[in-house]
Structure 1
C-alpha cells in the first residue's frame, strides 16, 4: 500500500517507465550482487504480465541489499530511518541515578493478551513507531511511578500481517529509564482527533479535520498547561497535515506541519520552551489523504489498511481526566460518559443519550440475539428491523456509531454491538432479494 520513500528498485522501475523488460531485469538495483530478475524469480528475463515466474520460492527483495548486515549491504541500506543518530536524551543523560532494565511484570499482565487498541488503561505514557529513535522527556516534567504514581503499565505491540503468515517472529521491545530524582512537574498526554472518516477511492487529495473547541478546553482544563511535544498520526494514505493552536478565534501558532507525511517516518515536533495552552484555547488538526491506490472507501479503523486522523500531545502539569478531546463527525466528545463516567446525557440527532437509554437497548438485544454474534436468530432479525425503523436513538445510524465510539473498552457493550449486528448480512440479502422481486413484477 506504499508509504515512505521508494527504495532503489522502486526508483529504477519508475525510471524505466514502470515496464518490466530485459534492461530492468538484468540490472542490480540494490547492489547486492544479484540481478532484479534473479531476486524476483525471472533469471532469464522472460516473464510477462499475468504469467507465473520461472521460480516462485526462495526469492529476495530487489530493492533491499541482502544480507542486511553484511559489510557490502551496510553501505547501501541507508534510508532515513536507518540514518538516525543513536538515541540521546540530555535531560536523561544528566541524571546520575538513572536506572533501566527488566521491568517487574505484575501477575495481572504476566501473560500477553490479544486485544484491541483499548486495554482498559486510560493514560498513554509513550509510543514508538518505525522512524522514531525513542522518547526523550524534558527536564521540566516526566511520568511519576511508584507509590504516588503509576504502579503498572501495559505495553501494546501492533503488527500488520495481511497475508496471514504464521512463520513471522518478532523480538522488539521497549526499554524504560527511571530515576528517583523527581522532575518539577508530572507529565500527561492527550489526543485530539476525528473518529469518523469516510475517504472515497481514487482521490489525490481528501482532507478530514478535528478540533478541541474553546468550550471543550474550558471544561477540560482547570488551569493552563504547557505543550512539550506533539506528533501527527495517520496511516498509509496520509499525505500531509498540520496542527494549529488558536486563541480568541485566531491562529496563535502552528504546533507542527508535515508537508510530506510518512507513516514510516513520523515527525515529533518538540517545543523548547514549551507552548502555553490556556483554558479556552483551541486545537485544530487537519489531515490530508491520497486514496488513488484504493478501489473502495476507507473508514476509520485500527488496521493500517484503515485510517486515522490524530494529534498526540505531551504536556505538564498533568490533569487527571484529560486524555482525549475527540470528534465524531460534527459532534464533540468532550466529557466522561458511560459506565466509567457520569452517565450525563448528550443530545444527538434529536436523541438524548443517557446510560438509561443504553441499558434499555442492551436488555432488548440480550433477550433476542445471540451474544456470540455468530448466529442470526429470527427473533433478533425482526427486533433489529423494528429498531432501525422506529427507535429514534439506536435506530439512527449516526447515533449508533457514536455510542459505539463512546463505549470503547467496555467488553459487555462490545458484545451488545456484535449481537445487534449479527443479522446484518441476512438483512442486506433480504433487501437485495426484495428489490429483485419488485423489479420483476
Structure 2
C-alpha cells in the first residue's frame, strides 16, 4: 500500500511506483501472510512533548486462532507525522521473549520493514505488544485516529507463516486490533469472561454491571442536580473506583466510554452513558480535594500600635483646656482693668 500526499496541490507529479507479480506451478509448502496489530482509538492532546500508546494482542486470541506455531520473518511499525519512536515485543507467559522491533526512532517520511535473518517462533498463547510514542508540540488541535496524514495511527505488522490462506478468515487471526484497549478478536471469539486491564467487558456489554452500578449510584444520590452529594463522593472514591476498573478514571474507564459511544455493540449504551455522566461533578470535586494544598506565602499583618504608658490622655487634655481658658479669662479681666484706669486718669 502506498500513500501520496500533495497538500499544496502541485500539478505535474507522476507515479513511478509499482510491483512485480510472479506465478508458479510449484506451490510453496507454506503461505506467507501479514497480520496487523494496533490501537484504533487515538486521542492525542495538543502541545504535549511525549504521549505513549500501548496495545497488547492477548494470549486468548492467539490461543484461539493459532492452532500451531507460526514463524515471523519480518516486522514493521506504522505511525503518521506525530510518531517519533516505536517498539514491538513478543511475550510468553508474561515474560519477554525478545524485542522484534527494538525501541528506536521513527520517521513517517522514511518507513522501513525489518526482515529477520532468523525466524522467530510465535506460539499459541503468546502476546504481541506494540508501543507507539508521539509528540504534539507543534499541534494546536487534538489529533484523532484516521487515515489522513494529519490524523494518526498506531499499527504494527508481522510477516509470518504458515498463514493457511485457504482457511476461512473467521478462523484465522488476520488482524488483532483494539478500540480503547478492547480487542475485537476477543469479542469475535465469544470466549467469556472477556476481561482486559481488569475491566470485565462481558459484564459491561451484557448490561449486568452498568445496571448494578446505576442502582448503587441512585441510592447514593449521584444523579442529584445540585452538584456533588457527599454520599456519592464517598461511594465513588471508596467503593466504585477501587473495586471496578471499568469506571476507575485512573485505570480502564476509557473502555466504558468506548462502549457508551457504541464502538462496541451493546444494547446498554444509554445506561453506561448515564453512569459515566453521573460521576462528572463528584470527579471534579474529588480531584480538587485530593490535590496537594498549594504552598502560599502568608504575609504578616502589621502589628497594632502599642500605646506608651505615661502619654497624654483625654482627661489630661481636658484639664489643660480648662486651665488655659481660666488664664485667658484672667488676662482679659486684667486688660479691661488697665484700660479703665488709663481712661480715668485722662478724665
The residue that corresponds to 1:192 in the other structure is: 37
The residue that corresponds to 1:402 in the other structure is: 263
Shift of 1:290: 1.3
The structure-2 alpha-carbon separation of the partners of 1:345 and 1:158, relative to structure 1 and needing over 3 Å to count, comes to farther
Shift of 1:329: 1.2
Indicate if the aligned counterparts of 2:60 and 2:186 stay in contact, CA closer than 8 A. Answer: no
Indicate if the aligned counterparts of 1:211 and 1:326 stay in contact, CA closer than 8 A. Answer: no
- The match for 1:283 among 128, 149, 152 is 128
Shift of 1:173: 2.6
Question: What does the per-residue CA deviation read over 1:234-272, in whole Å, with 9 as the maximum and x for residues that have no partner?
Answer: 111110010000011010100012521011212312223
Listed as ranges, the matches of 1:370-389 within 5 Å are: none
Could you list the runs of 5+ residues in structure 2 that have no partner in the other structure?
Answer: 195-200, 208-255, 267-347
Indicate if the aligned counterparts of 1:185 and 1:316 stay in contact, CA closer than 8 A. Answer: yes
- The match for 1:238 among 62, 79, 83 is 83
What's the TM-score, normalizing by structure 2? 0.53
Shift of 1:181: 3.3
Asked if residue 305 in structure 1 is aligned to residue 150 in structure 2, the reply is yes
Higher helix share: 2
The secondary structure found in structure 2 opposite 1:243 is: strand
Indicate if the aligned counterparts of 2:88 and 2:103 stay in contact, CA closer than 8 A. Answer: no
Question: What does the per-residue CA deviation read over 1:91-147, in whole Å, with 9 as the maximum and x for residues that have no partner?
Answer: xxxxxxxxxxxxxxxxxxxxxxxxxxxxxxxxxxxx4xxxxxxxxxxxxxxxxxxxx
Shift of 1:197: 0.7
- The match for 2:178 among 293, 304, 327 is 327
Indicate if the aligned counterparts of 1:192 and 1:324 stay in contact, CA closer than 8 A. Answer: yes
The residue that corresponds to 2:137 in the other structure is: 292
The secondary structure found in structure 2 opposite 1:259 is: strand
The structure-2 alpha-carbon separation of the partners of 1:336 and 1:188, relative to structure 1 and needing over 3 Å to count, comes to farther
- C-alpha separation in 1, matches of 2:87 and 2:59: 19
The secondary structure found in structure 2 opposite 1:303 is: coil
- The match for 1:257 among 97, 102, 111 is 102
Indicate if the aligned counterparts of 1:220 and 1:334 stay in contact, CA closer than 8 A. Answer: no
The structure-2 alpha-carbon separation of the partners of 1:396 and 1:166, relative to structure 1 and needing over 3 Å to count, comes to farther
The structure-2 alpha-carbon separation of the partners of 1:265 and 1:349, relative to structure 1 and needing over 3 Å to count, comes to farther
Indicate if the aligned counterparts of 1:193 and 1:309 stay in contact, CA closer than 8 A. Answer: yes
- C-alpha separation in 2, matches of 1:332 and 1:258: 23
- C-alpha separation in 1, matches of 2:130 and 2:145: 16
Shift of 1:189: 1.2
The secondary structure found in structure 1 opposite 2:261 is: helix
- The match for 1:218 among 57, 63, 70 is 63
The residue that corresponds to 2:118 in the other structure is: 273
Indicate if the aligned counterparts of 1:193 and 1:285 stay in contact, CA closer than 8 A. Answer: yes
Could you list the runs of 5+ residues in structure 1 that have no partner in the other structure?
Answer: 1-126, 128-156, 354-394, 407-441
The residue that corresponds to 1:24 in the other structure is: none
> Which is bigger in relative contact order (C-alpha 8 A, separation at least 6)?
2
- The match for 2:54 among 193, 196, 209 is 209
- C-alpha separation in 1, matches of 2:89 and 2:35: 15
Question: What does the per-residue CA deviation read over 1:321-376, in whole Å, with 9 as the maximum and x for residues that have no partner?
Answer: 22101111121111575xxx99x9985683349xxxxxxxxxxxxxxxxxxxxxxx
Listed as ranges, the matches of 1:53-92 within 5 Å are: none
- C-alpha separation in 1, matches of 2:145 and 2:39: 9
CA RMSD of aligned residues (A): 3.0
